[in-house]
Structure 1
């Protein structure tokens, strides 16, 4: 049963027979294939005889067809039964076309270099392509493996192993470079982290020193006030107890209590002063550190933290002073801009009016110009005076 499907294949369409019809010469073909041949023959004979000659594609014998055409040819029932049985059975050893159901791949397409079925040649995408039968195509391609093997073992492949070794060597070298870069990154950021940790500790130490200075400044004063408070409470208790003493005891103690009260009242209270810490860490980090490149962090000095005492009469905090300073800067810049605009505008007005007055309306234009110039001069004077007052105010607030 080897290549049994070849027996069931139409020699015209290379597909399994469909409605097989037998010619008088005993050759069998598909009905549709014979219909196409008969149609071509009828087109050739323009006068259209009653009986159209049909030449067998295999033996070239001529058969005159009746007016009913191919329908008059007998059906090959035996072959059709074999085909039906063949199609009902499974044939795992036969490769069928993936696009056409149960059609064997029994033709070799020379254009696309692949096996196709009869339907691919007649109604499929290989229609009109040059073809060859399997045996002929096999004979032609039988020596191809030996030629391919020779191509795979020629001098072209001698350096393949050496090339692989070079690539692996380069890969190993590149991986070592990357590993070295990783170590550099880890070392760099470790040093950076250590530097930042060191700077952080320096800042905290400086702030702790400032905290100690604050304690040294305020703790003695607080203790002194507490001592005076204790003496006050003690004298209040002693004064209250004098009322219960006898006249003799009263006279003996009252003068001593009076003297102690006078001495306590004469003790001056320490002046309450606000402590200003400078420089402020927030400003240092914002103004200096935030604009510093990473490479310069090691060189940045830690500022020496100090405190200064000011009277409680100062009502503006540092943040408030900064805001006031910003507002005053905006006002000063605005006033300067207005003054400059007025000077520029005044010069252009002079030029413009001079050109007009040289033509016509001399008296009217001159009067308008004088009034406008006087007004601009007065406004400029007022703005200059306001600018002077702002500068004086700024000096009093910040100095």
Structure 2
């Protein structure tokens, strides 16, 4: 603490002197501090009411004060003038108390381990706490930094350094993993987006092809119909103009117009039939794509779309239905009869082969045996052909029954 400031501090309250009073022993104290001491020692002057005894807090000498008390002590005007001048000046090197205005931190509180001012000890929150002067506190704590430095450089902090390095290494590794996962996500969705974009282009190309087919289907017919309508409008204009012609001109032109109208009316008109587009994109997306896993989208094929005349519902009369039913039954009967005949041929074919085999072994020579073998092979081929025909007839019969 600055020496000049120590000279301005009361040794009782450790604050800047307030109303300094001088004792006969020449020691100066705050007026309030002396009042407090006087009140504490009031029992000493009961037997001597004319003079009030007071022990100097500094030199411990007994001083007698007039009955008027501390007010009878002279004011230290010189010291008060110095204090007023000191308080008017700025002292950036002096640390003041944040709670008490312009009071220097000149006392060390042993209980709270912090610097306090005199007001903190007398009227503040440090009242009654044990204290020490700055120099004594400084010498007691002078070796503390070295001890703290030793504590801050032991193996514990080496382990802390290694731990920090390990944590930073793990953090770097984890960040690299996250960055790698980000790249994987970007690559995955880029490929998925490319695949979807390719599939979208394929769908649009297929729809464009269908649009071209529809254009090829309808445009020529529309053009022919427009041509017929233009000829109709032309003949209407020509027919209307005939009414304004003279008799000679009328008779010359009327037959030609009549023939042209007949020819135009005989030109066949196409039957308007709506077309179907198959397969429909909405059905493909709903039935196939909605059930397709993301990883399998690449393998999903885009079907080639076509158009076909729309099937119109047929209205059958009762007579037609009976005829159809009759032909179905007739076909079933014919196929069944043919199947029985073929089964009979196959059955007797096996007996014929067995009979010829026995005759050949008994009566025929080796030359005849070769002829028989050739015949037997031919019969086997006939048998295979008949079996295949029987299979085809059976399939045909089932198709008739199902329809």
Matched with 1:186 is 186
Aligned equivalents of 1:53 and 1:305: distance in 2? Answer: 126
Matched with 1:57 is 57
TM-score (norm: length of structure 1): 0.66
Shift, 1:17, TM fit: 0.6
CA deviation profile, 1:312-361 (whole Å, cap 9, x unmatched): 99xxxxxxxxxxxxxxxxxxxxxxxxxxxxxxxxxxxxxxxxxxxxxxxx
Aligned equivalents of 2:217 and 2:277: distance in 1? Answer: 13
- Report if aligned partners of 2:45, 2:53 keep a CA contact under 8 Å in 1: no
Q: For 1:58-207, what aligned pairs fall within 5 Å after superposition?
A: 58-207=58-207
Give RMSD over aligned pairs: 3.5
How many residues align? The count is 311
- 3-state SS in 2 of match to 1:129: coil
Task: Assess, with a 3 A threshold, how the Cα gap between structure 1 residues 266 and 155 changes in structure 2: closer, same or farther.
Answer: same
Task: Assess, with a 3 A threshold, how the Cα gap between structure 1 residues 120 and 312 changes in structure 2: closer, same or farther.
Answer: farther
Matched with 1:258 is 258
- Report if aligned partners of 2:45, 2:52 keep a CA contact under 8 Å in 1: no
Task: Assess, with a 3 A threshold, how the Cα gap between structure 1 residues 73 and 237 changes in structure 2: closer, same or farther.
Answer: closer
Structure 1: gaps (5+ residues): 314-399
Shift, 1:23, TM fit: 1.9
TM-score (norm: length of structure 2): 0.66
Shift, 1:300, TM fit: 5.0
Task: Assess, with a 3 A threshold, how the Cα gap between structure 1 residues 282 and 12 changes in structure 2: closer, same or farther.
Answer: farther
Aligned equivalents of 1:22 and 1:46: distance in 2? Answer: 21
Structure 2: gaps (5+ residues): 314-403
Aligned equivalents of 1:130 and 1:91: distance in 2? Answer: 28
* Bigger mean CA offset, 297-306 vs 151-160: 297-306
Which of the two has higher C-alpha Rg? 2
CA deviation profile, 1:285-327 (whole Å, cap 9, x unmatched): 57876786644544555465455656999xxxxxxxxxxxxxx
Shift, 1:93, TM fit: 3.2
Task: Assess, with a 3 A threshold, how the Cα gap between structure 1 residues 72 and 226 changes in structure 2: closer, same or farther.
Answer: same
Aligned equivalents of 1:150 and 1:248: distance in 2? Answer: 136
Shift, 1:231, TM fit: 3.3
Matched with 1:224 is 224
Shift, 1:194, TM fit: 0.5
CA deviation profile, 1:90-147 (whole Å, cap 9, x unmatched): 3333322233232222111112222111112122232222211011101101111221
Task: Assess, with a 3 A threshold, how the Cα gap between structure 1 residues 267 and 25 changes in structure 2: closer, same or farther.
Answer: same
Aligned equivalents of 1:303 and 1:126: distance in 2? Answer: 92
Matched with 2:341 is none
Matched with 2:28 is 28
Q: For 1:263-274, what aligned pairs fall within 5 Å after superposition?
A: 263-274=263-274
Aligned equivalents of 1:282 and 1:65: distance in 2? Answer: 116
- 3-state SS in 1 of match to 2:41: helix
